[in-house]
A = this chain, B = another copy of it.
Amino acid sequence: AHNEFFPGISKIQYKPDAAPTDVMCFRYYNPEEVVLGHSMKDWLRFSVCFWHTFRGVGSDPFGFGTIERPWDDGSETMENAKQRMRAAFEFFTKLGVEYWTFHDRDIAPEGKTLAETNRNLDEMTDLAKQLMDETGVKLLWNTCNLFSNPRYMNGALTNPDAHVVAYAAAQVKKGLEIGKKLGAENFAYKEKIGFKGQFLIEPKPKEPTRHQYDYDAMTVIGFLKHFGLADDFKLNIEPNHTTLAGHQYHHDIMMASAFGMLGSVDSNTGSPDLGWDTDQFPMDISYATQAMKVIIDQNGLQPGGLNFDAKVRRESTDVQDMFIAHIGAMDTFARGLRNAAKIVEDGYMQKMLDDRYATFTSGLGLKIVKGQASLEECEKFISQAGNPKKTSGQQEKYEAVLNRYL
């Protein structure tokens, strides 16, 4: 019989009455519970990322790695890579998520040549396929790591050296091939070859280089529209990137959704007082509620999902911390879903919005919405109707009502 990597930890259960410190169970996330006609797990589509959770070692610019795992000897051998992957699937299963995500270099060691690297990838994706079949865990998306290797220090597809660009393109080709092999529901980057998933592109400001072409949702949307690519892509929004770009937590989720381009969410958070991408587990109930409200309003994220692009702090060195962090975040989003569903069911807040925009449902307002009102017509309307009256914006009322749902 094969090794158990998490001895003493069984499948995480839903216990609505758990004590505050009983953190190895869900108090809110109840996968099969039906909310607004769908199960919680179908609304939330949780995914664990391989990079932070199985490759992160807790190093930072000030310190060496702190995180050591019993199943990982730190070597770049295929044997170690396989152990790691088996541990990962046990984790996915015990935690109770249905999806995982990875970069090519997370799962297979690089060889001396691209050909050797690709053979390693073939072998590792064979194992992944087998484990996916055994456990029922599916691939939310895969992507290519076009940044860690020093060859990409000056950029990948934006590199000033055509040789590097060619290398990146060749790597993308292989990435698409393995995505297809594993039935990825999405691919976080570029270009097609018989691949049936949704292409995703993720905005990111300030890191790893000061200037990033894909600063935020609107920058990416503008870029895609400029190059005629808007029909080929949706956006994968990472809220920690959104806040680094100077926006509210859920701003890019809303903007991407408003333009019909919200594909998936890399569910994490930063600290508003820190200026870099801390990739913390999302624990804010109000933000989770507002994000889930947008997701409900667009009728879900499928084929995308909520992928935890989040890492335990470098001081959280226990194996148990991996579970606690994911459970805490899943409970947070389960609360967000419940809250948002109640907001939708009650309809009070929608009524407030409808009232706010009521003047656009008839008369000149409706003509304006339809793009049929000329400047002359507006001027004439004012000459007859005179000055508009003042209407309170009621921001505090919106805030207070939202709080009643938290």
Contacts and interface: CB of A to CB of B under 8 A. Distances in A.
A21 B348 contact: yes
Interface in A139-154: 147-154
Contact of A382 (B170, B375, B392, B404): B170
Nearest to A348: B21
A211 interface: yes
A208 interface: yes
Report, as a range, how many residues of chain A touch the other chain.
Answer: 35 or more
A79 interface: no
Interface in A337-384: 346, 348, 352, 356-357, 359-360, 363-365, 368, 373, 375-376, 378-379, 381-383
14 contacts: A20-B404, A63-B208, A160-B357, A163-B385, A165-B368, A166-B382, A167-B382, A173-B378, A222-B226, A244-B246, A246-B246, A274-B275, A313-B395, A321-B392
Interface of A: 18-21, 23, 27, 58, 60-66, 113-115, 147-154, 160-167, 169-170, 172-174, 176, 191, 193, 205-208, 210-211, 215-216, 218-219, 221-223, 225-226, 243-248, 251, 259, 271-277, 281, 283-286, 312-318, 321, 324-325, 327-328, 331-332, 346, 348, 352, 356-357, 359-360, 363-365, 368, 373, 375-376, 378-379, 381-383, 385-397, 399-401, 403-406
